[in-house]
Amino acid sequence: MEFSIGVDLGGTNLRAAAVNREGKILEKIAVDTNFEGGRDAVIGDIVNGVNALRTKLSGNRLAGVGIGVPGFIRLKEGFITNSNNLPYLENFPVRDAIEKLLGTPIILENDANAAALGEKWMGAGMHVDDLVLLTLGTGVGGGIIVDGRVLHGMDGMAGELGHMTVDPFGPPCGCGNLGCLEKLASATAVESGAMLMSLSAGPLTSREVYEMAMDGNDKARALFHQMGRALGIALATLINTFNFPLYLLSGGMLPAWNLFFPPLEEQVKLRSFTYRNTRTRIEQATLGNQAGLIGAAYLPFQAMELK
């Protein structure tokens, strides 16, 4: 049997899964990673994780390893750039280094792109060739799938949809822009909104704001309304741009769907002629936090098909 290994390098841990050609997870591990340990420690953790799975599946053929990483990937060079969590991996030939240690082909991919590819392969996007995924977490990430493949652009930086301008005079963002989608529609946006609106004496988590909203607190509800509104404005532009059949939302904010979806859809209906006149669907992703893992594992299989 042939299998592939997907690695998801998250903010606090490393997960890896062995996946077969049919997309079934055969074995899975999670390792708390010492991200403060620096470059060699993280690379060591990746190598150990992959080797542990390889041992469990000895006797089978490993097609390759895909690694989803937060940050931009320079695909040709196998570099990571602008990764907030892993600064010491930046501008270092990380792919080649891991490839040498493991003796198997490595493919790097941005984590949101990997999640979009995972949803296309085995999740909510199984039956389409083109989709856009927005990941709603601490920030907002994006992945664009065209013809079954990740849209990379010239430097692997395509799909930075969290930095679409939603309100040109909106709150400033670390990227230099004003009114970015992720300043209005992320967990962070909900949390700073709660602070500004004095929802409680101290800071609240987005989960706590969610619970207040579910209990009927109007201010808390207004924050999810704003989130939906911002997402709807951005999605209308994406729908007018791509005319794809499917737009997926995923991430830690997804449980608040019932709070943010009605204003989202209201905005999309208002702002997109294409939405009103086609069978465009806006749906919840279905693979949860396994999307990135499964998408990363798909990368080696896809590379073989495209050869």
Q: Which residues bind a second copy (CB under 8 A)?
A: 82, 130, 142, 144, 146, 151-161, 163-168, 175-178, 233, 236-238, 240-245, 270-274, 276-279
Nearest approach in angstroms of CB 180 to a second copy is 8
What are the residue ranges of helices labelled H in the chain? 39-56, 94-102, 111-122, 187-196, 206-214, 218-242, 257-271, 273-277, 291-306
Q: How far is the CB of 236 from a second copy (least distance, A)?
A: 6
Q: Which is closer to a second copy, CB of 13 or CB of 91?
A: 91
Residues linked to residue 244 through DSSP beta bridges, in sequence order:
none
Cβ 162 to a second copy shortest distance, Å: 9
CB closer to a second copy, 151 vs 199: 151
Residue 21, token pair as written in the block:
């050609």
Whose Cβ is closer to a second copy: residue 41's or residue 175's?
Answer: 175
Q: At residue 88, what is the residue type?
A: Y
Unique residue bearing structure tokens 């069978």:
279
* Closest distance to a second copy from the beta carbon of 34 (Å): 29
Phi, psi for 31 (deg, rounded to 5): -130, 130
Q: How many residues does the chain have?
A: 307
91 or 200: whose CB is closer to a second copy? 91
Token pair 């909203």: residue: 213
Distance in angstroms (rounded) separating the CA atoms of residues 282 and 294:
21
Smallest distance from the beta carbon of 231 to a second copy, in angstroms? 12
CA separation for the pair 236, 8 (Å, rounded)? 30
Nearer CB in complex with a second copy: 272/290: 272
